[in-house]
Structure 1
Amino acid sequence: MSEQLLPGFHIRRGSTLDRSLLVKFMQRTYQDMFPNQDFAHLEQTVKQYFSGDTPLWWVEEEREVGAGKQKRNFSSASTPPIACLWVGNAIDQVRGDRHAHIFILYVVPEYRRRGIGTALMRYVENWATQRGDRQIGLQVFQSNTPALNLYNQLGYQTQSLWMIKFLSAEK
């Protein structure tokens, strides 16, 4: 079942049958940011965390067919989804409350700056509110300025910083 996300775009709930498509979207997401890396390991991430308890949504574009508009078919390799949103659960380490955590929000580059990311964020906020969550968490790379701008415009604030140090593998 799908519903209109924005004029010209529909959103539908994915299923665990979409595992391989989710892996492809995750790999594309990271390749956009880090083009020289191999992201084959993301298949293991999806295998470990993707379940019926971690909802996935796909966005498709309406297209003209005959006299009216019709949705693209997700099962067709020639008409892939143009965006996805995958959400998991996290526990607030300060208050102990369960809350939604966005694993991935990705819009195919040709469809960016059309309000799809904003609409997806509002969609997941409504979903999380309906299930009783009081907050949503996400992780974003510091170098991903467009995403940072979107989240800031929507009222998201930095609560913590994830810091890393690369260690030498030499013994």
Structure 2
Amino acid sequence: MNLMLKTVEVFSRRHRYDINPSKSSCIRVNPKSPDPSPDFILEGTCIPLDTSTTHIGVYRNTKCKVNTKNKIELGRCTAYWLMGAGFIGKNGLKQSVKAHLWSTFVVPRMLYTLEVLPYSQADLKALEAFQLKTLKQVQHLADRTYNVAALSLLGICLFELNYTKTHLICTTV
């Protein structure tokens, strides 16, 4: 690891950009032994060992699991941001436009980083439940309406199919 940090240091000097060691952190993913790891040094400064960190919007911790609650909260916030455009109001947009907004803005934000983090079926079920509940609210349908009806009226796929499509696109390119 120190060799990799030394390579980063040399590369940053060569291409004239700075890496701030005080803003850098390191995590041990799935630590097998309780032994402390050696000190990682970048530009003469020791990088602290943390339990969680964020890099380019990707939240990682030592267990390297998807934080489903944060994903649902991000999707909810995105949907609320779209309310001003008539996303949920009765006198708002057409159903086809609402479906397009959902597929274009909300789903990609919730799918971001899922292709690089290990997930479980429970994670996908929670995201699917959020999608179904929100789509029923958007269409002013009762909670007991069939899930297939809520999806087919807007022409939206299941969340798991959207994830699979995104994952295939990322792995085949």
Q: Same fold (TM over 0.5)?
A: no
When Rg is computed on C-alpha atoms for both structures, the one with the higher figure is 2
TM-score normalized with structure 1 length? 0.29
More strand per residue: 1
More helix per residue: 2
TM-score normalized with structure 2 length? 0.29
